[in-house]
């Protein structure tokens, strides 16, 4: 996806209504001098990305968003979400949802596993739309410059957990909590309902997983994801920025406690979201 | 007032630094050390500038320089640029130039009667660039210590570490400036050499972010390091941060993606046929993964801010209105 921003802009023009393009013009980001930020994000590619994702967001997965007012309109923040579905479509839908629901628009910067930036074409396209590789240094730099991070604390075990474990949160890593405490960023819990059913699993392969440097890959029973309805629920922020000092990030017990609170908050949103929905496809 | 020794004064950066220092009212005298013959230097000796030709690969010659002309001129700051060999130079001779000259200059400066500050130019090639490391490279970023790295990189890392390990232990104030790549002739820039062809091949599917420095910014950073009292390691990024494809296009070149496995043989063939120096093996990782120097520390401590962008021959992509 190494094409010029002008082409991305032209493609976005074809896929997005003018009002949305005008709204995206207010997108705030740190231009490092040639229209790109330090991590390679470019607003024209963000618009192009939205144009690509829009048909999935609006028509295929018919995303319903709830509680987006909890996303801070400025300053550093961490969105912590459950992860599922074999392919990171949940990340794409949250990314698109945040872009659409915030005004002025904000780009959620997904923190991806190390192997993602090394994927040809895909890694480049994702970087142009805001994704960064999952290193502590990248996350730190983004929070220091006031960005909104999208982190899946379950990591790869969440997305590959398989059909039988759907809606069962896997172990939450603590990195997101430590980063949020240290950089005084509120944590917004996010629950994605629907993604867990998009790809019924046929079998699980460790050998395929080794190709990507991950533990396993679930081979789905369907060639394309099922047209489940996505529900994205944002909970009230956990104000670690107000409750704790940055130095508390050095206390493992405090960090683990915050991560547990986030996990509980995401679990509660999942429970409420599952109770509220009328069906997998409705 | 400072009296400054500039080694490598026959390099583009060194020559420009000497000229800048001669126009700097805070600098009393400059001792310019060139590797070749003094007569070939475009610099003109004056009452404030003395030019000497010394091969710093020899510890004996370095000793004679520091305890001869440098002592006579009461030099108090040494700016060492003379250890930077072109990437193509390999072997013992290149190692002596790149590493042993740094070692001997530090050792000699530590017992020198007038020298109290050493500024060493290092570069971004010392850093490891790989998929699981941060894009934004701070001074504590892992160095490229791989034994499989080319000698050019290993020597730069060794020279850098040689200076770093003396910080705080030495009576000298030691400053190491890890500079982004200077896109210009005579700087040893692999990217400049790469852009020398009308068609630039790149690994398909990848478009990493690069950061580039100009001679003007490099000299500004060196000048700040000379006058500062701070010591330590500082990244010196340039004003241009852009993807590889934008760099190629802005240089007026055609970019053609090819399978990554073709790159090494194609560029080896190009080197043999055209005499260009670009080695893909030396640049493979940064042609896949982004690596941008974080200049926060240099800004906060030295007051360095990159202010001189590259003068792109055909800046096409960044000027279009959104």
A281 is a domain residue: no
Task: Say what the ipTM of the complex is.
Answer: 0.89
Q: Looking at the predicted structure, is the pLDDT value of residue A213 above 80? A: no
Nearest-angstrom CA–CA distance, A266 and A272 = 10
Residue-level pLDDT at B319: 46
Give pTM, 2 decimals: 0.90
Residues of chain A positioned with their CB less than 8 A from the CB of B203: 120
Q: Which residue has the higher pLDDT, B131 or B112?
A: B112
Q: Does B241 touch chain A (CB under 8 A)?
A: yes
Confidence of residue B22 (pLDDT cuts 50, 70, 90): very high
Q: Looking at the predicted structure, is the pLDDT value of residue B321 above 50? A: no
Q: Does B47 touch chain A (CB under 8 A)?
A: no
Q: What is the mean pLDDT of residues A31-40?
A: 92
Cβ of A34 within 8 Å of Cβ of B204? The answer is: no
Q: Give the closest-approach CA distance of A234 to chain B in angstroms.
A: 29
A61 is a domain residue: yes
Cβ of A141 within 8 Å of Cβ of B134? The answer is: yes
Q: Does A57 touch chain B (CB under 8 A)?
A: no
Confidence of residue B3 (pLDDT cuts 50, 70, 90): very high
Q: Looking at the predicted structure, is the pLDDT value of residue B322 above 60? A: no
Which residue's structure tokens are 């790549």?
A: B181
Q: What is the mean pLDDT of residues A176-198?
A: 96
Q: To the nearest whole number, what is the mean pLDDT of chain A?
A: 93
Of the ranges A14-18, A33-37, A133-137, B81-85, which one carries the lowest mean pLDDT score? B81-85
Count other C-beta atoms under 10 Å from residue B57's C-beta.
22
* Range(s) of the domain holding residue A217: 5-276
Give me the number of domains chain A comprises.
1
What is the percentage of chain B residues whose pLDDT exceeds 90? 75
Residues of chain A positioned with their CB less than 8 A from the CB of B132: 114, 133-135
Q: To the nearest whole number, what is the mean pLDDT of chain B?
A: 91
Q: Does B39 touch chain A (CB under 8 A)?
A: no
Q: Does A25 touch chain B (CB under 8 A)?
A: yes
Confidence of residue A49 (pLDDT cuts 50, 70, 90): very high
Q: Which of B156, B226, B206 is nearest to B5 (CA)?
A: B226
Of B131, B209, B239, the CB nearest to A40: B209
Q: Which of B298, B162, B160 is nearest to B230 (CA)?
A: B298
Residue-level pLDDT at A164: 84
A120 is a domain residue: yes
Of A2, A38, A43, the CB nearest to B136: A38
Please give the angle made by the CA atoms of A259, A264 and A265, to the nearest 5 degrees.
95
What is the percentage of chain A residues whose pLDDT exceeds 90? 76
Q: Looking at the predicted structure, is the pLDDT value of residue B320 above 70? A: no
Q: Which of B252, B191, B134, B256 is nearest to A2 (CA)?
A: B256
Residue-level pLDDT at B290: 94
Nearest CA in chain B to A2: B207
pLDDT digits (tens, 9 = 90+) for A222-272: 999 999 999 999 999 999 999 999 999 999 999 999 999 999 999 999 999
Q: What is the mean pLDDT of residues B260-286?
A: 90
Q: Give the closest-approach CA distance of B186 to chain A in angstroms.
A: 26
For an interface test with A, give the residue of B137, B209, B249 to mutate (most A CBs within 10 A): B209
Cα A48 to Cα A16, A34, A91, A128, A130: the distances in Å are 8, 18, 16, 10, 12
Which residue's structure tokens are 């998929």?
A: B131
Q: Looking at the predicted structure, is the pLDDT value of residue B318 above 70? A: no
Q: What is the mean pLDDT of residues B154-163?
A: 94
Q: Which residue has the higher pLDDT, B83 or B94?
A: B94
Of A1, A36, A120, the CB nearest to B209: A36
Residue-level pLDDT at A75: 96
**Are the C-beta atoms of B291 and B208 separated by less than 8 Å?**
yes
Nearest-angstrom CA–CA distance, A257 and A239 = 13
Nearest CA in chain A to B316: A4
Q: What is the mean pLDDT of residues B135-149?
A: 91
A79 is a domain residue: yes
Q: Which of B8, B291, B312, B292 is nearest to B131 (CA)?
A: B291
Q: Does B243 touch chain A (CB under 8 A)?
A: yes
Residue B6, beta-bridge partner list = B32, B79
**What tokens appear for B48 in the block?**
């404030």
Residue-level pLDDT at B168: 87
Q: Which residue has the higher pLDDT, A85 or B90?
A: A85
Q: What is the mean pLDDT of residues B89-116?
A: 91
A98 is a domain residue: yes
Nearest-angstrom CA–CA distance, B264 and A150 = 37
Q: Does A27 touch chain B (CB under 8 A)?
A: no
pLDDT digits (tens, 9 = 90+) for A84-131: 988 899 999 999 999 999 999 999 999 998 888 889 999 999 999 999
Length of chain A measured in residues: 282
Cβ of A141 within 8 Å of Cβ of B133? The answer is: no
Nearest-angstrom CA–CA distance, B233 and B178 = 7
Residue-range domains of chain B with CATH: 2-180+214-238+292-302 (3.40.50.720)
Q: Does A112 touch chain B (CB under 8 A)?
A: no
Q: Give the closest-approach CA distance of B240 to chain A in angstroms.
A: 6
Q: What is the mean pLDDT of residues B116-132?
A: 93
Cβ of B241 within 8 Å of Cβ of A34? The answer is: yes
Residue-level pLDDT at B186: 84
Confidence of residue B316 (pLDDT cuts 50, 70, 90): low
Confidence of residue B66 (pLDDT cuts 50, 70, 90): very high
A282 is a domain residue: no
The CATH code of the domain that includes A199 is 3.40.1130
Q: Looking at the predicted structure, is the pLDDT value of residue B11 above 60? A: yes
Q: Looking at the predicted structure, is the pLDDT value of residue B149 above 90? A: no
Of the ranges A94-103, B149-158, B228-237, B240-249, which one carries the lowest mean pLDDT score? B149-158
Residue environment code for B245-269, b if the CB has 16+ CB neighbours within 10 A, otherwise e: bbbbbbbebebebeebeebeeebee
**The dihedral sign for the CA sequence B279, B284, B290, B296:** negative
């Amino acid at each position: 996806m190494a094409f010029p921003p002008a082409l991305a802009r032209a493609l976005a023009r074809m896929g997005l209504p003018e009002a949305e393009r005008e709204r995206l013009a207010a997108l705030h980001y740190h231009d490092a001098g040639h229209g790109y930020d330090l991590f390679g994000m470019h607003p024209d590619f963000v618009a192009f990305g939205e144009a690509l994702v829009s048909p999935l967001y609006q028509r295929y997965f018919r995303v319903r968003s709830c509680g987006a007012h909890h996303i801070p309109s400025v300053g550093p923040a961490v969105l912590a979400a459950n992860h599922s579905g074999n392919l990171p479509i949940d990340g794409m839908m949250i990314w698109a949802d945040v872009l659409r629901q915030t005004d002025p628009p904000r780009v959620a910067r997904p923190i991806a596993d190390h192997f993602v930036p090394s994927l040809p074409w895909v890694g480049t396209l994702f970087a142009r739309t805001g994704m960064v590789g999952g290193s502590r240094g990248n996350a730190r730099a983004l929070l220091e410059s006031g960005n909104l991070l999208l982190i899946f604390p379950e990591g790869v075990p969440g997305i590959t957990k398989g059909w039988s474990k759907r809606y069962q949160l896997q172990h939450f890593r603590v990195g997101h909590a430590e980063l949020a405490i240290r950089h005084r960023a509120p944590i917004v819990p996010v629950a994605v309902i629907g993604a867990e059913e998009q790809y019924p699993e046929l079998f699980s392969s460790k050998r395929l997983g080794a190709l990507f440097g991950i533990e396993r890959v679930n081979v789905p029973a369907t060639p394309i994801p099922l047209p489940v309805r996505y529900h994205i629920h944002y909970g009230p922020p956990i104000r670690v920025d107000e409750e704790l000092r940055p130095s508390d990030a050095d206390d493992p017990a405090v960090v683990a406690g915050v991560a547990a609170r986030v996990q509980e908050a995401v679990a509660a949103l999942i429970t409420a979201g599952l109770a509220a929905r009328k069906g997998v496809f409705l | 007032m400072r009296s400054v020794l500039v080694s490598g004064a026959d390099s583009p950066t060194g020559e420009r630094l000497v000229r800048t220092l001669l126009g700097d009212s805070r600098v009393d005298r400059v001792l310019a050390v060139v590797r070749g013959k003094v007569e070939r230097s475009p610099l003109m000796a004056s009452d404030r500038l003395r030019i000497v030709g010394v091969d710093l690969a020899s510890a004996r010659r370095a000793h004679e320089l520091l305890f001869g002309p440098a002592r006579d001129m009461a030099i108090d700051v040494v700016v060492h640029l003379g250890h930077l060999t072109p990437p193509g130079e390999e072997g013992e001779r290149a190692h002596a130039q790149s590493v042993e000259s740094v070692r001997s200059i530090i050792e000699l400066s530590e017992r020198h009667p007038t020298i109290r500050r050493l500024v060493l130019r290092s570069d971004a090639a010392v850093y490891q660039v790989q998929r699981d490391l941060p894009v934004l490279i701070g001074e504590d970023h892992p160095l490229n210590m791989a034994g499989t790295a080319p000698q050019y990189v290993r020597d730069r890392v060794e020279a850098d570490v040689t200076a770093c390990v003396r910080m705080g232990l030495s009576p000298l104030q030691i400053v190491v400036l890890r500079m982004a790549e200077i896109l210009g002739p005579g700087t040893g820039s692999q990217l400049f050499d790469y852009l020398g062809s009308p068609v630039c091949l790149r690994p398909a599917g990848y478009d990493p972010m690069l950061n580039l420095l100009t001679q003007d910014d490099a000299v500004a950073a060196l000048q700040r390091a000379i006058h500062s009292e701070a010591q330590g390691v500082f990244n010196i990024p340039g004003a241009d941060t852009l993807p590889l494809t934008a760099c190629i296009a802005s240089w007026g070149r055609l970019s053609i993606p090819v399978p990554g496995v073709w790159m090494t043989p194609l560029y080896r063939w190009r080197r043999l046929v055209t005499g260009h120096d670009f080695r893909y093996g030396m640049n493979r990782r940064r042609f896949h993964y982004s690596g941008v120097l974080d200049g926060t520390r240099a800004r906060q401590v030295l007051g360095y801010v990159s202010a001189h962008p590259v003068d792109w021959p055909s800046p096409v992509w960044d000027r279009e209105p959104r």
